[in-house]
Amino acid sequence: TMYEREEDNDEEAWLQLRPVEPLPSQCCGGGCSPCVFDLYHRDLARWEAARASKDRSLLGGEESQSCPSHLSPETFLAFRISAMDRLTKDTYRVRFALPRNSQLGLRPGQHLILRGIVNDLEVQRAYTPISPANAEGYFEVLIKCYQTGLMSQYVESWRAGDTAFWRGPFGGFFYQPNQYGELLMLAAGTGLAPMVPILQSITDNADDETFVTLVGCFKTFEGIYLKTFLQEQARFWNVRTFFVLSQESSPEQLPWSYREKTRFGRLAQDLIEELVSSCRRKPFALVCGSAEFTKDMASCLLRAGLAEDSYFLF
């Protein structure tokens, strides 16, 4: 009957409005709150309630996107790419414009989630801005591209003037000036990212007397990111930098200014113990890198005598 056909059409219309469950690849795995799956379950509950009472107006409640200077953990906002710099063969520093000299509103070390669409698949990944937390009118991220990565294909297609979608902020480490005697930063590759704004906030603040020991692990000297920035930071009275290069072996190949502070091989127990014991005050460690690097560093720090409440794993 006609009535049944209308029922069917109505049912079909509701099914088209049903939120689509995210793919596992869309979760960045960073423990964000809300995660894409939290948002899906929230929207699904909203959809089920609306459908039960046949009231489509209940599906609303989406935040307006007209004012993208205010980040939101729930809603992706569009930001314009103002510049892309290739730092190494596979890593870019990307600058995004913020409206009217506004600030992003992140604390140093917090991260954002980027959404990419590749071959009609949606992918989400977490990135930490490397720009100072108080930067006005822009923010910058460091993005490493992998040959087979979906997000990498998306990022490599970017040009200045394009738009990318971000939500945030996320992250559980909140740095307070003079909170720790010394920060021991252990970073591998792009794991340098969260360390950069934290370090900069310390050296920008004349009243912050925290000592910093930053250890950057890279494959080659060529592959060290942000060399100029790190060299400038190491001139401050309270900052030391060290490098550990896994695919180099001869100090003669390095510039003079790096020879003293570069080790070869991997960052392992002996060097961790040496670093911890050479800290000028009791250190609090920050660790960021691959999952494997993070796990290794946590066990090295424990064996070197740091308690679990004396380090934070990004």
How many CB atoms neighbour CB 282 within 10 A? 11
152 has binding-site annotation: yes
- 51's tokens: 């459908």
Residue environment code for 172-207, b if the CB has 16+ CB neighbours within 10 A, otherwise e: eeebeeeebebbbbbbbbbbbbbbbbbbbbbbeeee
| Contact between residue 130 and residue 40 where contact means Cβ atoms under 8 Å apart | no
Quote the CA–CA distance of 236 and 144 in Å, as a whole number.
28
Residue 291, CB-side half-sphere exposure with 13 Å CA sphere: 3
Is residue 222 within 8 A of residue 203, CB to CB? The reply is no
Q: Is 114 annotated as a binding residue?
A: no
Does 219 count as an annotated binding residue? Answer: no
**Residue 138 assigned to a binding site:** no
CA-closest candidate to residue 199, choices 156, 231, 170: 231
User: How many Å apart are CA 314 and CA 311, to the nearest integer?
Assistant: 10
Tell me whether residue 144 is annotated as binding: yes
Tell whether 127 is in a known binding site.
yes
- Sequence-separated (6 or more) residues with CB below 8 Å from residue 89: none
Antiparallel, parallel or unpaired: β 182-188 and 283-288: parallel
Residue numbers belonging to the annotated binding site for FAD? 125, 127, 142, 144, 151-152
Residue numbers belonging to the annotated binding site? 125, 127, 142, 144, 151-152
